[in-house]
Structure 1
Amino acid sequence: MAGYFGFRFLYRNQPLSLYFYAVPRLCLNLMGFWPGPLQWRALVHFVVLAIGVATELHAGFSFARAGEITMALETFCPAGTSAVTLLKMFFMLRYRQDLLYVLTHQRQLLFQKKSLSAEKKQLMRHHSEMAARFNFWPLSAGFFTCTMYNLKPMLLAMLLYLQGRSDAIVWSTTPFNMTMPRWLLHAPYFPFTYMFIAYTGYVTIFMFGGCDAFYFEFCVHVATLFNFLQADTRGLFRPYKGLAQIRGLRSIRFEASLVQLIERHNKIFELTHFFRQRYAIITLAHFVSASMVIGFSIFDLLTVGGSGLGTLLYVGYTVAALSQLVIYCYGGTLVTESSAQLATVMSTCPWHLCLPKHRLYVYLFIMRSQRALTMAVPFFSPSLGTFAAILQTSGSIIALAKSFQS
């Protein structure tokens, strides 16, 4: 398979540095949005997608005013995703230096050679491989859906031609419903218009694939750092088993190690709060738009009837939208559960061996860990519970739509 088409991060046992933000690095580098200096590709792709969003929304409202509700919803599905992707582009550009700061500090915390034991390397490998494969799934689903949109007009034209119905072929049909000047929809410009419209779809796919994967990678690595803290917390007390109390020189060494543990804990909290603030609007907009897109896709899926190509298209779109949501929700759950587990680990350690002043540090550490770190944004917190609620609502929409059909 030629190395999984060159995607080495899909293999096991690659260098750990290769897995670090592998999918978001692939997508955002292609688009020019990888955190760091401003790249001209980013500005070009921003303008390309802005044109696509403006023309799609105009077409959608035109269909709605004409009373063509199915066509309007079919247009608003990709238009909504593209519009939110454009918003993501803006914030990725605005916070590119802040996100570079996040990347740099997270890498420093993860790859500290002095404290990177075999147990931690195995833990980081497990999380990193999982993140790479998990992030590749919504990118693949989105790429498949976009390709189906791009091939649909050509496949329909080919079927009509094979059926001897060449007169029924509409040569000005494009992959996405966009309002374009009429002269761009005829020869000799139509092939270039078609390629431009198709390309806007791939810009959307790689941008939301990179931006959403960046969020999930951050959450996975924060969970890894909390697991590192759990291992170090157990290791902190290990040399003192069998003692009646930690005193003397041992007490000084213990206090120094405990302080380092607390400082790392604080750094993880501060870094997560810093990142969460930069991603708050992106996360909120993504959940609102994805929920609407799922509703539109389900409605379209129920109204396309026996159209095999249309059914395949909307099933792919719904899977892609759900895949986007689940990586945000699962990422939030990983952060919350791993941070809360730290309190349990500390409380089960033999902290009664500590001197009174050290017990105070332990109590404060437990109290802070019990207030689990979350990826909350205004109005909700991404978690698997939130995802289950969205699925339940989607099920209600399906049941309601079917009741109207019967």
Structure 2
Amino acid sequence: MQLRFLSPETPIKETYFLLPRFALRVVGCWPQKKVPTFISILHFLVSSTAVAFGAFGECICGALTLNQILETMEAWCPGVTKQISLFKMWIFFVHREKLYSLIDRIEKLLTADGNEDKMKIAQKLSVIASILTLILFVSANSTNMFFNTRPLINNIIRMWNGKNTTLDFPFKMILPDVLTNYPVYPFTYISMSYSGVMTVFTFCGVDGCFVGLCFYISALFRMIQYDIQEVFVHLQYLDKAGRRDNQIMRQELKVIIRRHNEVIDLCNEFKEIFTTIIMGHFLSASLVVCFSVIDLLYSLEICDSVYLVEWYKCDAETRRMILMILIRAQRPATISVPFFSPSLPTFMAILSTTGSYIALMKSFI
């Protein structure tokens, strides 16, 4: 059965931020005009506390197991994700009034004109935004589900093979013994799982809002392009526009200019709220990728080890073999992708370049 919100025939009012609204309402930080009630604030605090529990617990665990790189990264990867999600939650909660105004004004601009061609433009881009958000939502929830069910599946396999079960958790944390044993163990397991669920819904909602805002603002610009073309479409039948024609075109252009300025103002508000989120998200991802391969930098230390042995006491053939090892060890082993090799120097370059780009963007916008 086709999902209705993925159909370009569905009115944009029915699909407007559908998935992000659902996700952030679960978390308790969907922007609303009304003053938050005590229940809604409590809802948000419970969700953010759950995410904070996972974020700091996993990052502390990673910091205490630095001598075991796999254990460290297994704790840090979800831990950093939760820290960024916690950051996003609070930004959305603090800026809830600005976000509500931004989302509401964009919707009014999109639906103000009932022109069928312009609505098709908006609905087409809305479908693309919905598809991208759905992919993010499904993939993120699938990953979280595998994390949460992995210990249960492992114990089922152990029971099937006649072995004793273990009290494992979905995420790596260092906790007091009282929290890792019965009767508190099930509560701790559920708390970790809840932390993962709130993390997934947070970054799906926030990132879905970012994707949606980009596409909806793009739709507004395309609708302005359509309006400009419509203002001058009749000139193809005239050799020269008359006085009356120019007056009409000027009046129509004034309306377009006002709307264009309003959309640019919306872009500035959008940038003001999301610049910090994008910066944190980008840097956290870069940090995880670059530090994930830091252990491979030990390949360079082979060079020092070879040089420090008493190689000069060997014969010529042995020295040549040592020389070959020395030459090869000077090239670091790393994991490369088509456009860069993750490493600490690369991470520092990313920090520098990101700061430059943000400063450049601010000078233009």
Compute the displacement of 1:15 (Å). 2.8
Task: Note the aligned Cα RMSD (angstroms).
Answer: 2.1
3-state SS of the aligned residue for 1:102?
helix
Equivalent residues of 2:8, 2:124 under 8 A apart = no
Listed one character per residue, the Cα deviations across residues 99-151 of structure 1 (whole Å, up to 9, x for unaligned) are 01101110111011xx3311112111211111111111011111111111111
Q: Which amino acid aligns with 1:143?
A: N
The letter for the 2-side match of 1:105 is R
* Conserved 8 A contact 1:80-1:289: yes
C-alpha deviations, 1:145-189, integer Å up to 9, x for none?
Answer: 1111111111111112212222xx322x11011232211111111
Give the drift of 1:83: 0.5
Q: Does 1:269 align with 2:264?
A: yes
The question of whether the paired residues in 2 share the 8 Å contact of 1:84 and 1:286 is answered with yes
The gaps in structure 1 that reach 5 residues or longer are 301-375, 382-406
How far off its partner does 1:296 sit? 6.1
Please give the residue correspondences for 1:237-316 in structure 2 after superposition, counting only pairs within 5 Å. Answer: 237-295=232-290
Name the structure 2 match of 1:88.
Answer: 88
Residue 172 of structure 2: aligned partner: 177
The correspondence of residues 144-223 of structure 1 with structure 2, limited to 5 A, is 144-166=142-164, 169-171=165-167, 173-223=168-218
Q: Distance in 2 between matches of 1:261 and 1:253?
A: 13
Contact 1:146 1:205 in 2 (8 A): yes
Contact residue 63 and residue 71 of structure 1 kept, 8 A: yes
Q: Determine which of 16, 19, 27 is the counterpart of 2:15.
A: 19
- Are the equivalent residues in 2 in contact too, given 1:77–1:296 (CA < 8 A)? no
Aligned twin of 1:365 = none
Q: Does 1:380 align with 2:357?
A: yes
CA deviation after TM superposition for structure 1 residue 284, in Å: 0.5
Instruction: Classify 1:270/1:88 alpha carbon distance in 2 versus 1 (closer, same or farther; 3 Å).
Output: same
* Cα pair 1:283 1:377 within 8 Å, conserved: no
Q: Which runs of 4+ in 1 moved over 4 A?
A: 294-300
Aligned residue for 1:337? none
For 2:134, the equivalent position in structure 1 comes to 136
Equivalent in 56, 59, 81 of residue 57 of structure 1: 59
Letter in 2 for 1:203: M
Once the two structures are TM-superposed, the CA of residue 81 in structure 1 deviates from its matched residue by: 0.3
Structure 2 distance, partners of 1:217, 1:255, is: 33
d(CA) in 1 for partners of 2:119 and 2:294?
47
- Report the residue type matching 1:90 in the other structure: W
| 1:57 counterpart SS class | helix
**What code does the residue aligned with 1:271 have?**
L
Q: Distance in 2 between matches of 1:134 and 1:56?
A: 29
2:77 corresponds to which letter in structure 1? C
Whole-Å Cα distance in 2 between the matches of residues 259 and 83 of structure 1? 47
Which residue of structure 2 aligns with residue 29 of structure 1?
A: 25
**Alignment of 1:48 onto 2:35:** no
Aligned residues of 1:81 and 1:293 also touching (Cα < 8 A): no
Matched with 1:236 is 231
Is 2:119 the partner of 1:117? no
- The normalised TM-score by structure 2 is 0.76
Structure with max Cα Rg: 2
Q: Which amino acid aligns with 1:150?
A: N
Compared CA separation, residues 377 and 278, structure 1 to 2 (3 A): farther
Structure 2 residues without counterparts, runs of 5 or longer: 296-352, 359-365
Offset at 1:12?
5.1
SS of match in other structure, 2:357: coil
Structure 1 pair 11/228, CA: closer, same or farther in 2 (3 Å)? closer
21-30 or 290-299, larger mean C-alpha shift: 290-299
Letter in 1 for 2:95: Y
Structure 1 pair 237–20 and aligned structure 2 pair: CA distance change class (3 A): same
- SS of match in other structure, 1:244: coil
Going from structure 1 to structure 2, the CA distance change for 1:299 and 1:30 (only over 3 Å counts) comes to farther
Q: What is the rounded CA distance, in whole Å, between the counterparts of 1:15 and 1:209 in structure 2?
A: 23
Distance in 1 (CA, whole Å) between partners of 2:51 and 2:5 is 28
CA contact (8 A) 2:111 2:119 kept: no
TM-score scaled by structure 1?
A: 0.69
Change (3 A) 1:242 1:225: same
1:243 CA drift (Å) = 2.5
Give SS of 1:241's match.
Answer: helix
Identity among equivalent positions (%) equals 26
Asked if 2 retains the 8 angstrom alpha-carbon contact of 1:152 and 1:175, the reply is yes
